[in-house]
């Protein structure tokens, strides 16, 4: 599936059960179609949805999946640090490993890795680029304050 977003084109792949396996910005190897995913993504980028309720099926290690499961709990328009994310998964010394798992998240935006920032409040790496991360966070903040 392809999407036009306020941040440029994006794409998603879904498995045979309709679960999202990949979401990313740019052009990619989209596979499958799930009309519910398409509807919710359109609502999100229109500022009318803040939480997704379609199935996800990211491929990764058990540790990565634990980190990604915690990412979806970060509320729309809010941020936490890598250290806080490590604490939330019960491993406070693992902020670097958490950062690596964050960097390999295959389902951008939906699994909101962009909501994790440095302990000093500075933006750190993002697969889509720091500029996109900054725009996503600013957009979420504006949508949240308008609702």
Active-site annotation, residues: 113
Query: Could you give the CA distance from residue 51 to residue 24 in angstroms, rounded to a whole number?
Result: 17
* Residue 18 burial by Cβ neighbours in a 10 Å radius (0-12, 13-18, 19+): middle
Report the candidate in 124, 31, 107, 97 with the shortest Cα–Cα distance to residue 69.
107
Instruction: Say if strands 2-5 and 8-14 run parallel, antiparallel, or are unpaired.
Output: antiparallel
């Amino acid at each position: 599936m392809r999407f036009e977003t306020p941040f440029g084109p994006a794409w998603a792949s879904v498995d045979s059960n309709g679960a999202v396996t990949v979401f990313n910005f740019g052009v990619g190897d989209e596979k499958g179609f799930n009309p519910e995913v398409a509807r919710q993504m359109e609502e999100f980028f229109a500022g009318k949805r803040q939480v997704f309720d379609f199935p996800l099926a990211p491929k990764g290690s058990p540790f990565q999946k634990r980190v990604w499961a915690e990412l979806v709990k970060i509320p729309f328009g809010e941020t936490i640090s890598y250290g806080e994310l490590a604490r939330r998964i019960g491993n406070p010394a693992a902020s670097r490993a958490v950062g690596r798992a964050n960097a390999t998240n295959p389902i951008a935006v939906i699994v909101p890795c962009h909501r994790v920032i440095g302990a000093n409040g500075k933006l750190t790496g993002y697969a889509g680029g720091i500029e996109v991360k900054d725009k996503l966070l600013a957009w979420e903040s504006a949508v949240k304050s308008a609702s």
